[in-house]
Structure 1
Amino acid sequence: MVLNNNDVGGMMQISAATENDKAAWLPLWRAYLDFYKQALDDDITDLTFARALDDGESLNLLVAKEGDTVIGFATYVMHRSSWARAWYCYLEDLFVDEAGRGKGVGKALIAAVAEAARQKGAERLYWVTDEANTTAQALYEKVATKTDFIQFRRDL
């Protein structure tokens, strides 16, 4: 899937990541981890990228590019639901380079994930964000409905 978008101040293309995108994606991935104050070993980063390119895995990676420059990315996971016949899609990671923020890149990535999920038979796209990330929430409130659910986590 390739989505072209001229509404972000230049020609932007969103597509599934390829091995050729890894070097350009990596600085954004690291900036994303820094934003959330997370440290991952390089082997986890390599594994994440490899899984996203493996058709046998449920993890997918889209990259937004202007020319050869990756300006944003989204990872998403397709999964079955106990409440529906159709698939659900979880938007796991969304990040836009600082220079690309406020230009519609994040919105375009969400739209691209939604379209990819729709093509795979999903009836719902959902995600979570940090409650302090009010900038992202301002975008999310324009493109989705905020729910009353609270996330709980238990490390195993």
Structure 2
Amino acid sequence: MSNVEIRPVTPADHSVWLQLWQAYLHFYDTELPAETSALAWQRFLDPTEPTHATLAWRGNQAIGLGQWIFHRSNWTVSHNCYLQDLFVQPDVRCGGVGRQLIEHVLTQARNAGSTNVHWLTQATNHTAMRLYDQMAKRSGFVQYRHAL
């Protein structure tokens, strides 16, 4: 999709970002308190925060989002980048937008001096995994979580 522009979020993008964010949360069958989403948005706009967001635009329509966090690692001297959230509107999936968003994050991480970029998806997200398997290696690790 050569007519897609990837650019960082701006304060004027809040409503379109929120629509995509809610669609992403719905895709993963989850909900967050409004305060959590509001705080995430504030962090994206704060240059002192290590978290960032970008939107994929086709014309004046936002069709995808990417959100990442730079973090320290005990295994490297430089920091790593966690691509925490990636979402493309269902009607434009498999058209290259997800790849463009990932490539954008890879460029941002490279420019910031990161050692690597890592991300997760659900084991049932086969459509995304076809793309991810082309762009990265599976780590072989299984993630565990304990809610506090």
Q: What TM-score do you get using the length of structure 1 for normalisation?
A: 0.91
> Residue in 1 aligned with 2:105?
113
- Residue in structure 1 matched with residue 85 of structure 2 by the alignment: 93
Structure 1 segment 140-155 matched on structure 2, within 5 A = 140-155=132-147
Unaligned runs of 5+ in 1: 1-7
> Which of these residues, 34, 45, 68, is aligned with residue 37 of structure 2?
45
Amino acid at match of 2:8: A
The Cα RMSD (Å) is 1.0
For structure 1, which segment, 87-96 or 51-60, has the greater mean C-alpha deviation from structure 2 after superposition?
51-60
Distance (whole Å) between structure 1 residues aligned to residue 71 and residue 60 of structure 2: 31
% same residue: 37
Number of aligned residue pairs: 148
Partners in 2 of 1:44 and 1:120 — Cα distance? Answer: 26
Cross-structure match for 2:18? 26
Deviation of 1:35 (Å):
0.8
Any residues of structure 2 matched to 1:74-85 within 5 Å, and which?
Answer: 74-85=66-77
Alpha-carbon separation, structure 2, partners of 1:79 and 1:25: 23
- Which deviations, in whole Å up to 9, do the C-alpha atoms of 1:33-55 show, x marking residues without a partner? 11111111222111111111111
SS at structure 2 position matched to 1:15: strand
Q: CA deviation at 1:93?
A: 0.3
1:64 aligns to 2:60 (yes or no)? no
Which structure's residues are more often strand, by fraction? 1
Aligned residue among 111, 114, 121 for 1:129: 121
CA–CA distance in structure 2, aligned partners of residues 64 and 49 of structure 1: 16
Task: Give 1:76 deviation, angstroms.
Answer: 0.3
Once superposed, which parts of structure 1, at least 4 consecutive aligned residues long, lie more than 6 Å away?
Answer: none
Which AA in structure 2 matches 1:44?
A: T
Listed as ranges, the gaps of 5+ residues in structure 2 are: none
Task: State the 1:90 CA deviation.
Answer: 0.3
Tell me by how many angstroms 1:26 deviates. 1.4
